[in-house]
Amino acid sequence: MITLTESAAKEVQNVIEQQRKAAEEQGAELGDPYLRVGVRGGGCGGMGYTLELAQEITEEDESWEHHGVRLTCDSRSHLYLDGTTIDFKDDGQNQCFVFENPNDQGGCCGCDSAGGDGGC
């Protein structure tokens, strides 16, 4: 299972609300998206992380809910992410999602893939 901390969940909810307002201004509807978590090759430890909002999930996806945020992850990525906790850090200058993954020996925080500048 992948876990979101309360601070990460609040930030995801803020992003969803911002995108919902932007969609409404354009006459569209965002609905109730999932936070899709995944892995990609690369990153500082050989593993990079991805976060995106997704409207749909597939039969191959696994899903959870933490602090009111629905998460989903494809089964291949879940092999690498099982046991991961995603936190959100804001030190006043840098904001980023931090992945605490017991399966990633490289210790990459994921700031580069979550919109931060890698400064966390």
List of domains in the chain: 3-22+33-113 (2.60.300.12)
Cα separation, 23 vs 3, whole angstroms: 28
Mean residue pLDDT of the chain comes to 85
Which stretches does DSSP call E strand in 1-120? Answer: 3-4, 34-41, 47-54, 61-66, 69-74, 85-90, 95-100
pLDDT of 38 reads 94
Nearest CA to 101 out of 55, 66, 49, 32 is that of 49
Prediction pTM value: 0.80
Cα separation, 27 vs 82, whole angstroms: 38
pLDDT of 113 reads 42
pLDDT of 115 reads 40
Cα separation, 96 vs 60, whole angstroms: 28
What percent of the chain has a predicted confidence (pLDDT) above 70?
82
pLDDT of 40 reads 85
Two tokens, residue 29: 């509807």
Q: What is the mean pLDDT of residues 54-78?
A: 94
